[in-house]
Every structure is written in structure tokens, then in C-alpha cells.
Amino acid sequence: VVLCLVALTVAGPVRFAILGDRTGGHQDSIHEKIVAEVVKAKPEFVMSVGDYIEGYQPADTMKLAEEWEEYKAIVAPLKKPFYYVPGNHDITYDNALGTYERNAGKPYYSFDYKRMHFVVLDASRWEASDSLPAEQLDWLAQDLAKAGKATYTFVFFHKPFWTASVAEGKHDTLHSLFKTYGVDAVFNGHFHQYFSATYDGIKYTAIGSSGGETRPGPTGILYHWALVTVDNRKGITIEPVLL
């Protein structure tokens, strides 16, 4: 029995970084400085929440490709696994999907790391959970069902739909799935301000700006990234790290 219990825990503590939005009026050199700080922190891998390029090019895919080359050069020093999450600047229109896939891979996917399950969703072109394509929601339900033995489950998507639904006591399709399948924490970006809340035992956190134009929100936190530590005894600790 003891061996079984040990096998089900996270071999830790595990530390991973999360980069916030770079674009949406990106400020010169801020993202580069944050990447340099993350390199020094030596996390095991790096997550993100979207908005890597300025995008919004309805036809000029060559310009999109140039912006992607610029971004990949900025994050090249990380030398760690880096996981992309599509934002509205990255896949603004359906015709930008191909360019995104060539540079960042599938727009939604999942992976496992040391008994933790990570899910990345594509919320780039929709404004509410209920608007997401049925195909993606069906995939999510199946993926979460198969991940039932994970010690912790994390979900990443760009737009924090929950602020207009769960936070106001309204139905939210994603939140319902997260409750059903035991999701532990959800991370978003988009608003360029750091804020968090817990609903039905699920930690929701919006990472603020890692380079996009911003102003102090209620927390007063400006440019930053986040360090997440997962520990068997302490659980999940989320720490915004100021530039």
C-alpha cells in the first residue's frame, strides 16, 4: 500500500514558469528581460498564456511569419520545454491558423509531467466558453476523463471567460467540465493585469503583462511572470514575480 501511495504523488517539488502576454501594444525589451529572469530561475519547463505576436493581419501571412520568427528568437534562450497557448493576437482570424500551427504546433493539446496533467485550449477567436467549437469541448471532456489518475490537473487558455460567468454566478461550460473532472488550477492572460479567485475549489489565475501595454490593477502589479511550485505537502503555490 505504501508503494502505491508513493507512486501516486508528485515527485517534487516541481517548479514551472508562466509567461504573460507579450503583445497588445508591446513595450520594447520587456519580454526579453523577463525571459532572462526566467532563465536564471531555472524552472523545469515554461508555460505561457498567449499573445506572442501583434498579429491582426487579415491577409499578410508573410508579416505574420516575420513576427513569429522574431518571437521565437526572443524565447530561444530559455533552453527548456516551452508550451504555446494561442491568444487573439496569434490566431485573430481563421486564415492565421496555418501560420500558428507551423510555428507553435497544435492550437489545443495536452501533456503529462510527473503525474501532473496539463491541458492547453484554443480560446483565440471566441468570447465565451459556450461559443467554443463542440469538437474542442468533446476533446476536452475525453482528455480530462482519461487523466483521472493525475495528482494535479492544470488548464491553460488565453481569455478568462470565467470573469463574466463563474464570477457572476452564471453557468460556464468549461467550469462545469473542470468541476466534473477535478481540475485543480486554471491559468489565463488577455487582460494584462494579475488577479485570481477560487471557485468550487478550483484556483483561477490571470497572469498579467509580460510586455503588453498595461497599468496597475487592484494588485498594483505591473510587468511580471509567475512561478508555480507544486509540492506534495503544500499543494500548488502561485507567485507573481515582478520584473
Show the cell assigned to 148.
483521472
What pLDDT is stored for residue 60 in this prediction? 84
Q: Given the DSSP bridges, would you call strands 109-113 and 45-48 parallel, antiparallel or unpaired? A: unpaired
CA-wise closest residue to 17 among 229, 237, 227: 227
pLDDT at position 3 over 80: no
H/E stretch holding 66 reads helix 61-75
Average pLDDT (144-164) is 97
pLDDT at position 8 over 60: no
Average pLDDT (207-227) is 92
144 contacts 183 by C-beta, under 8 angstroms: yes
Over the range 129-140, which residues count as b (16 or more CB within 10 Å of their CB) and which as e?
A: beebeeeebebb
What pLDDT is stored for residue 1 in this prediction? 39
- pLDDT tens digits, residue range 60-73? 889 999 999 999 99
User: How does DSSP classify residue 60?
Assistant: -
How far is Cα 242 from Cα 239, in angstroms, rounded to an integer? 9
H/E stretch holding 5 reads helix 2-7
3-state secondary structure of 228: strand
- pLDDT tens digits, residue range 120-141? 999 999 999 999 999 999 999 9
Average pLDDT (144-167) is 97
How far is Cα 233 from Cα 242, in angstroms, rounded to an integer? 26
- pLDDT tens digits, residue range 157-196? 999 999 999 999 999 999 999 999 999 999 999 999 999 9
User: Which amino acid type is present at position 236?
Assistant: I
Average pLDDT (84-90) is 98
The count of other CB atoms within 10 Å of the CB of residue 25 is: 12
Q: Which residue carries 478550483 as its cell?
A: 202
Q: Given the DSSP bridges, would you call strands 45-48 and 14-19 parallel, antiparallel or unpaired? A: parallel
Question: Which band of pLDDT confidence, cut at 50, 70 and 90, is reported for residue 11?
Answer: low
Question: In percent, how much of the chain has pLDDT > 90?
Answer: 89
What pLDDT is stored for residue 219 in this prediction? 82
Q: Can you say how many angstroms the Cα of residue 50 is from the centroid of all Cα atoms in its chain?
A: 7
Question: Which band of pLDDT confidence, cut at 50, 70 and 90, is reported for residue 5?
Answer: very low
- Helices 173-180 & 134-146, crossing angle to 10 degrees? 10
pLDDT at position 4 over 80: no
- Helices 61-75 & 97-104, crossing angle to 10 degrees? 20
